Structure 1
């Protein structure tokens, strides 16, 4: 006597079951859209188009006026912004010079004094040439420097970050 043939019907794979197939199709649409958006964002970032355009700051003619035993001296630089947006010089520092502040010469009651100022903006396509009687960098308690001595300075900008320069010591009144 032979055994009755059992119904050997296999269950359907998950993706072929009606409820599961509908759920899978519903999940593929947003997942595919996310993948496409992520790919586009990667391409956008890789081309450099993401974010704000940056300022491009150039520094030239950086010089330190030699102090003759004075309690302060001055650092003068010329700045040029060739970028498409303005940038702001927030501070200047140097390990070799010590405490430095942005300053301006003001005249009060017929007497000229150096006063600290806040950040200085350099317009897009603009420039700033510091001078001893306008915007400058005051160095408090400067070290003794010889003419021709070079010192590294860091200019700190809001958008561009740190911009390095080398300043040369000159006698006051010399270009």
Structure 2
């Protein structure tokens, strides 16, 4: 029995040591692809006239990390239903275009996504009355980074 224990001790000790090193390595975040580093700035909501059916919020999403992330949706507990939308221009018609739902927006590694009128934005359906200067909580949800909370300021018009 003693010979069996001595024979098993060396491989068992080596396996435990390797496992401990592997756990330490993965806990540093160095294993696998490095995560994205998402920040959201310039969060603003356009004040809509009382009784209007919708308004729009715009955000600038920055990714300082070495891997891409994907914006999945945005919401606020204090506002109506929010939807990611993109304005699609109609060529040659003289019209501004239509808005289509967007199911996801890639934020490239080291890149920025700027939401702006005539492009990407968050449409808020049936918003409450909003006052210029008011700030409201908003959450942007990403595939890798999860929830990123910001405060969006209500502005009178689009910049």
Alignment gaps of 5+ in structure 1? 1-19
Q: What does 1:4-43 align with in structure 2 at a 5 Å threshold? A: 20-43=1-24
Return the offset for 1:128: 0.8
Return the offset for 1:146: 0.8
Higher mean displacement: 70-79 or 41-50: 41-50
| 2:76 pairs with 1:91 | no
Structure whose CA Rg is larger: 1
Q: Distance in 1 between matches of 2:33 and 2:67?
A: 9
2:119 to 114, 121, 134: 134
Aligned residues: 155
Give the 3-state SS of the residue equivalent to 1:145 in structure 2: coil
Counterpart position of 2:37: 56
Counterpart position of 2:108: 123
| Cα separation, partners in 2 of 1:61 and 1:111, compared to 1, 3 Å | closer
Higher mean displacement: 45-54 or 99-108: 45-54
Alignment RMSD (CA, Å): 1.6
| Cα separation, partners in 2 of 1:116 and 1:54, compared to 1, 3 Å | same
Return the offset for 1:52: 3.2
Give the 3-state SS of the residue equivalent to 1:52 in structure 2: coil
Return the offset for 1:159: 0.6
Deviations 1:65-124 (A, max 9, x none): 111132111000111110010010000010011210110112356452222111000101
Counterpart position of 1:167: 152
Q: Distance in 2 between matches of 1:90 and 1:42?
A: 31
Q: Distance in 2 between matches of 1:111 and 1:58?
A: 31
| Cα separation, partners in 2 of 1:111 and 1:61, compared to 1, 3 Å | closer
1:100 to 82, 106, 118: 82
Indicate the structure whose relative CO is greater, using CA pairs within 8 Å and at least 6 residues apart. Answer: 2
Q: Distance in 1 between matches of 2:85 and 2:41?
A: 19
Return the offset for 1:35: 1.4
